[in-house]
Structure formats: C-alpha cells, structure tokens
A and B are shown apart, each in its own frame.
Chain A
Amino acid sequence: MSTILSLPDQTTATLPKRSYLNDGYGLKSWLLTGDHKRIAILYLISITIFFFIGGFFAGMVRLELLTPPTDLMAADTYNKMFTMHGIVMVFLFLVPSVPATIGNFLIPIMVGAKDLAFPKINLLSWYLYVVGGVLTLSALILGGVDTGWTFTTPLSTHYLNTHVVTAGLAIFVAGFSSIFTGLNFIVTVHRMRAPGMTWFRLPLFVWSHYAASVLMVLGTPVLAITLVLVVLEKVIGIGVFDPAKGGDPLLFQHLFWFYSHPAVYIMILPGMGVISEVISTFARKRVFGYTAVAFSSVAIAVFAFFVWAHHMFIMGISNYSALVFSLLTMLVAVPSAIKIFNWSFTLYKGSITFETPMLYAFGFIGLFTIGGLTGVFLGSMGMDIHLTETYFIVAHFHFVMVGGMLMAFLSGVHFWWPKMTGRMYPEGLSKLAALITFIGFNLTFFPQFILGYLGMPRRYAAYPPEFQVLNVLSTAGATVLGVGYLLPMLYLTWSLKYGKIAGANPWQATGLEWQIQSPPLTTNFEETPVIDYEAYDYEWLANKTKHEVQTVG
C-alpha cells in the first residue's frame, strides 16, 4: 500500500526554531496565554482527563450489568455512576471535544488570521470550563448526584438529596464556556478572514463549526435558565415545575430538550467538519458537492431547534404537536444523509490512501449511518412508543455520539497531531488502535439495539435474567473499546518526544494550516496570507509544490 505520507529526510529533519510551543516557558506562560493554539492544548489535556473519568464510570456501569441482580454496587451507587457518566461525557467531553480543541487550534489558521477575535474571552472560556469541571468533581467527591444527566423534575427538585445544586451549577458555568467559544468562532469567521478568503473558499470544517457555534450561542442560554429554575425550585421552592403549586412538570422537559436536542448537533457538527477534511485529503480530491455539504450544516443548525419534542412523544403532549415534531424530525435527517452520500462520492475517481485518520473516518461513516438511520426509528412516532426509554435509545445515541463523534474526534486528533506537535505517531500501532476501537464499539453497542427491542429499560441496575447474554457481550465489547482508547493516549504521549519529525505538510493536504510550519508560529503566519485559490484545490497544491522544488533546485 503506497502512501502520501511525505516526511522530511529524518537524518536532517529538525523542528522549527521558533513555534508557539517554545514561545515562553513555564506554567504561567501557558495559564495566562492568549494564544488560541495553547488554549486548544489546555482544552485537549483537560477534556482527555474528563474523558477517562467519564470512561471509568461507563466501565463501572457495564461491570454492574454483567449479571442480572444488583451485586457489584448498591442501586443508589449505580444510579450515581450512570448519572456522572452522562454529565461528564456530555458537558465536559462531547460538547467541547472538537470545537474547543481542534476547532480552537484551527479556525483562526483556516481563515488566515493570527488568532481568534477575542483571545482573552477564549482563555476565560477555558477557565470557566475548568471551574465547571472542578464543581462537577466536587459534586462527585461530596457524594455524587443521581438525577440522570437530564435532571428530570420533580425527581431532581423534590425527591433527591444528592448534590443536584452543585452539579447544576457546574453545568451552568461550563455552559458559558461553550457560549464564549461559539461567540468567538462566529465573530472570527465573519470579521477576520484573510484577503481573498470568501465564504465559499472556507474549508467545510469552518462551515460546520460556524453552524455549531450558532447553536451554542442560541441554545446554551436556555439550558442555563432551566438549570437556574431547577436550583431555585429546589432551594426556595418557587414552583415553576411543581404541579402542587400550579407548575407544570412537563415544562422542564420542553426547556431542557430545547437546548439538549440542538446540543446533539453541537456535538456532531464539528465532527462532520473533521470528516470532510480527512476524506478530501486522503482521496486527494475536492469534497463532492461542496455547497451541498456546506448548506446541509446550516440546514441542520436551523432544523435542530424545531425537533425537541420528539423526546416527549409518550409524555402526554398533544397528539397533533407530536405529529408536527415527528415530521420536522424526518426533515432534519435529510441533511445528514446528504453529507454521507457526498463523502462517499468524494472517493469516486479519487486517489485513495488509508492512513489512520482515514480509517477512523471510514469508521465514522459506517457507525454514523447506523446511528442516523436508527434515529429515524425513533422519529417515527408509533415505533418510538415501544423503543423510547429502552436500550435502543442508548444504542442509538452511542452510535451517533461515540461511533460518530468520538471517531471523528480521534480522526481529527490523528490528522492534525503532526501540525499541533510537529511529530508523527507510530503508524502501525495507530491503525491497530483504530481497528480495535471499531470492533470494540460494535461489540459494545450493537447488542443494545436488540436488548432495546426486547424491551430492556435504560438506567436499570438490575434486569431480568433473559437479557444477560446480550449484556455480557456488551460488557466484553466495552473492555475491548477501553483498550482502543488507551492505546492512542499512550502512543501519542510517546510521540511527543520520540515521534518522527513531521514537517509542514506530511499528508500533502491543501488546507491553509498545512502551508505553514509545524508546529505553527505564535502568530500563525509570517505575513497575512492572500487567498487566490479555492478550498481543496489539489492542482494548486501540485503547482505550488513543483514551484518550490524548482526554486530549491
């Protein structure tokens, strides 16, 4: 298998003398930095920590479910485990995963700017994230919280004595970190594009981040308000959600899902951006139907706000409003289908190689297709009645969030790792990790679709014995999956010191970020670039490379 990996001559290769990594040393130079690349690294480290914390809880959940009765831990402990797993993974890993790390690192470079529009707000956003994370951990250390990540009232407000207020506050604070990131991206994309960088020359990565940013800025405040209401209801009993005081317990769910459904797209859209870049690079071909892919991101962002009640089909909402929300849900599935087909057709007449990021991207396409299509099951109202609140739901959103988003995140990390660090990771080991992750993932979550159709409810610490076989398979898969996630952690850390020098453009990619040194300068560009070529223009890249060779020769 030939490869487009073009590393510089390893006997003479050196890292650039000046880069954002050696521009200032010591903790202070990192903790008070305004550089979007350093903030991205800070985010990368912190979300990795929370990913493994959340992963630990997932492991405990799967371990308890190995046997039908509650034997490993008490029911209350189990409830805390899945709650903390959900809260940590959703709010502290998935929401910031791609945008705050890879997006933060790349958006300014991709539009040809020195930094994001508001570097200090960017730093503030990381500090808010850390405060949110520390509050979550303190809720955990004080004794945990067992509301489920959905904080459903009146359970959370009147029936639980765990640390609901602390956890609510944590998510409230972390929410602002995501609002600030979104705000920064929107302003940067509007105001800081380099000369010649028109909207339709932007990489699709930027388009999908722009769409996700709009969702962050418009949706997250609703979550903040909802959490404030929950805390007020719990602490002083204002009665917004309490039927005994004339409140409406369903109102909470409307408000919560008004954010939390768009949040699904906040999580997945940036991942879709990664896939567009990776597929194009390793097919050496412009993304098929650039405008269709770009506008499908915008369409997802718009529709995302009008489908929230599909989480409530069985909750006693009016049958006719359920009808409208089901229809809109079917519409939001279409842009995702458009993207999948465009990515597939990008391969057509390409010149394809199969490096690690591409393997993860293939994993994404397969698993996200399953995740998306099972979403249609749940959007179909009559089917939803049987499937909702069972393991079918659990399997569905893990296929989208873990099979989709986490694959995209790992694809992106492997793709831009040489740019971020200037070094390569071991190729064979990383391909093995991609394979292990894919197998482990399917083994973990595919049985859960069957469990769901059989009727096994989610969030059960104990279950009837006839469900055991499928649960054993799922737990076995989770073990494999765990190995798949630990491996990259190890070899990527190893590569920081011992990896081969990557050079500016190891993948021969067209993106602006690949035309500058690896790792980049603090100011990204020596002089403001002028863009006179389209996105994914491989002929331009070939000419440029030829020209460079001629100058050197």
Chain B
Amino acid sequence: MHFISPVLWQFLVNWLTHFALFPPEASTIAPHADALYFFLVAISLVGLVLVLALVAGFSFLYRQERNPVATQIEGSTLLEATWTIIPLALFMLAFVWGAWLYFRIYNPPTNAMNIYIVGKQWMWKAEHPGGQHEIDSLHVPLGRPIQLTMISQDVFHSFSIPAFRVKREVIPGRYTTVWFEATQEGTYHLFCTQYCGTLHSQMIGTITVMKPDDYEAWTEGSTSGMSLAQNGERLFASMGCNACHSGSAAARGPNLAEVYMTKVQMTNGSYSTVDDAFLRDSILNPTMHQMAGYAPIMPTYQGQISEEGMIDLVEYIKKLNSNYRIQQTLNTSQVQSSAQNPAPSQSSNQGRAQQTAPTAPGMVKP
C-alpha cells in the first residue's frame, strides 16, 4: 500500500510509532512535574484560543466591507481590570504550584542515600558511599530516595535526568544537591545541559534503575574494596590532618568527632552549621570559617587535594563518631612513615588511576 515513496513511508511509520510527547515518568517527582505542565499547557491554550478568537472574530465582524466606519472607543476600566486580575491570578497559581514543586525537588528527605558526583570536561564521575566508582553512568536502587552531592572540578556543568524531571547546576568550588526517588526500572538519559566546551554534547551517560536486590549485587560486584570514608581516612593520615585534629584536649585544631551537622561558634561570635560545604571550605580556605577558641594557623590545602579526595575526606569526617579511629590512624601513619613501604593500595577500579604508595588516593600528585 505504498502510495508514497518508501523512504518517506518508513520515516512516517517510524515517526508515528516512536513519537513521544513526554519522556518516561520514572521518579516520584515526575507525575507532579507533569501535572503542573498540564495545568500550564491548559492555561496557555485557553489564553491563546481566547486571543485568537478575539482577533479572528473581530477581524471577521469589523472588516471594512461589513463595517465601513469605525466607532471610536477610548477604553474600559472594567475590561482593563479584568484582563489584569484574571491573568495575574492564573500566574500566581503557577507561581505557588511551581514554588511547591521546587522546594520538593531541592529539599531532600533526611533518610536519603548520598551519592557524590564530580563533573569535569567532559565526563561524569559518580562515587558511591561504599567506594564504587562509575564514569558516565549511575546505578541507583528502585524506591529509595537518593541525594546527589555534586561539584565540578572545572567549569559549570548541569546534571539533568529528564525521565526524573530533575536537574541541577554543577558548580566549581561549591557543592550543590538534588534528590530523586526512582519508580521504574530501566535505563534513562543523563545529560549535561550547561554548555561546557568542545564535547558538551558528549557529556552524556545513563542512569540505571535496579531492583534493590540487583543493586546490592551490583554494589558487591563493583566495590573497590575501600569505602569513601576509608579512602578519606587514608588521606586524613597522609595529609597529616591528625597532627592537629587529634581530638585530644590540648590539640591545636578542633575535635572533628561528631562535628558534622552541629552548630559551632565562630571567632566573630556567630554560629554556623557544619555541613558538607562548611567542611570543604574549611579545608581549602581555612580563614573562611574560623572557629572560636582556635588560632588561625591551619594552612590551605588548595590545589593539593582533588575533588574526589575532598569527597573522601568529607565522607570520613561525616562518619567520624569518636576519636578512637583518629588515634588509630595516628599510630598507623607513624608506623607507615617509618616503614616507607606500606601495603599496596587497593586495585584500581573503573577509571581510577593506580595510586602509588605512599600517595593516598585523592591527593593531587605534584
């Protein structure tokens, strides 16, 4: 029944069978985003049809043949008020609904599992808490809130998963977060949506949503043997952090055990919450957050620790429940430095460069 060119026919068939108006709805947020979208489409259609009806109707009724002489009308305050207030009311509805959705997308639930993302020209690196590393792909379990803590090591990028309707800018020098809870198994597009240079359009990847059991199996199978916190511990020791942050009363630096998410007093009397960004800034730019009771003697570690290393350190400090581990580390590092040749580091995994002792992973090599 090919009345038209077979090529065109193929094209049309392909189009009609694969034509989608919406990306898949694969997260808890997606139905909410789509609902708002339908509302906005609806008010747009009403507005557009109204305007077109007015223009077309008046053009027909008052064309010169039917109405040779125009009747001059100055205006109408009532009408002006009508078309000020009704659009304003609809726009306000769009505002409130949009704001509600925004806060929902950007305020993660407290029980979310944290995965770290580092963006660089032109790849995405994901770090799972268990130490699994991925490049341009992200495996997540179904039905569990996932929070992404993201940073760029060069230019602005943007982490976008259309099927989840979430997106957030990934910024150099600052953590940003986004969260989602996947509701459908499958693989979905991951796009960098902020123009980031030559291979911007190649900075893409896949999000794989797996059943919780499969995810467990995947994590078992792709572990590097060291969790992020364990990497952080090695780095903590090798950078000599424990020399000051030993946790003892006479230490020159603040005690870091259980410091995460507490409020601490600064030298200027104000209080700050110790979150991921606070920890990161304190390491790279110590004078930014000067804690009360301590001399400003900490050197900057700018340029000495990679973004992955920073994540390891932050993850380590977050999980630091007592100073016992620090004391342990102190002992180990002393032993290590005297031995000169510690045990070989973990086998390299998925793109992570082989680390040579005694450089801990995450340290920027000179």
Interface residues in chain A, defined as those with a beta carbon under 8 Å from any beta carbon in chain B: 1-4, 70, 75-76, 79, 146, 148, 152, 154-155, 158-160, 243-244, 246, 249-250, 283-286, 288-292, 313-316, 319, 322-323, 326-327, 330-331, 333-334, 337-338, 340-342, 344-345, 347-354, 362, 365-366, 369-370, 373-374, 376-377, 379-386, 388-390, 450, 453-455, 457-464, 466, 469, 538-539
A389–B193 CB distance below 8 A:
yes
Shortest distance from the beta carbon of B102 to any chain A beta carbon, whole Å: 4
Tell me how many residues of B have a C-beta within 8 Å of chain A: 94
A322–B75 CB distance below 8 A:
no
Assuming the A-B contacts A288-B73, A351-B62, A462-B202, are A373 and B102 also in contact, with contact meaning beta carbons closer than 8 angstroms in the complex? no
B156–A155 CB distance below 8 A:
yes
B55–A79 CB distance below 8 A:
no
Shortest distance from the beta carbon of A450 to any chain B beta carbon, whole Å: 6
A123 to B167, CA, bound (A): 47
Q: Given contacts A345-B76, A383-B37, A450-B21, could you give 20 more A-B pairs where the C-beta distance is less than 8 Å? A: A79-B197, A154-B155, A154-B156, A155-B155, A243-B173, A249-B171, A285-B72, A326-B98, A334-B91, A340-B51, A344-B51, A362-B59, A366-B51, A369-B51, A373-B43, A382-B33, A383-B98, A390-B162, A454-B21, A457-B201
User: Residue B172 contacts which of A1, A249, A288 (CB distance < 8 angstroms)?
Assistant: A249
Give the secondary structure class of A's interface. Answer: helix
Shortest distance from the beta carbon of A438 to any chain B beta carbon, whole Å: 13
| Contact residues of B between 280 and 294, Cβ < 8 Å to A | 285
| Contact residues of B between 180 and 200, Cβ < 8 Å to A | 189, 191-200
A13 to B174, CA, bound (A): 72
Assuming the A-B contacts A148-B195, A290-B75, A365-B51, are A154 and B167 also in contact, with contact meaning beta carbons closer than 8 angstroms in the complex? no
Q: Answer whether residue B357 sits at the interface, using C-beta atoms and an 8 A cutoff.
A: no
B87–A337 CB distance below 8 A:
yes
Q: Answer whether residue B100 sits at the interface, using C-beta atoms and an 8 A cutoff.
A: yes
B167–A314 CB distance below 8 A:
yes
A341 to B162, CA, bound (A): 35
B102–A385 CB distance below 8 A:
yes
A459–B195 CB distance below 8 A:
yes
Assuming the A-B contacts A292-B75, A337-B87, A539-B72, are A347 and B55 also in contact, with contact meaning beta carbons closer than 8 angstroms in the complex? yes
- Chain B residues positioned under 8 Å from A316 (CB to CB): 168-169, 171, 174, 176
Assuming the A-B contacts A454-B20, A469-B14, are A382 and B95 also in contact, with contact meaning beta carbons closer than 8 angstroms in the complex? no
A288 to B95, CA, bound (A): 29
Q: Answer whether residue B136 sits at the interface, using C-beta atoms and an 8 A cutoff.
A: no
User: Residue B48 contacts which of A244, A373, A385 (CB distance < 8 angstroms)?
Assistant: A373
A159–B154 CB distance below 8 A:
yes
B87–A334 CB distance below 8 A:
yes
- Chain A residues positioned under 8 Å from B67 (CB to CB): 349-352
A285 to B59, CA, bound (A): 13
- Chain B residues positioned under 8 Å from A246 (CB to CB): 285
A338 to B76, CA, bound (A): 12
User: Residue A79 contacts which of B52, B176, B200 (CB distance < 8 angstroms)?
Assistant: B200
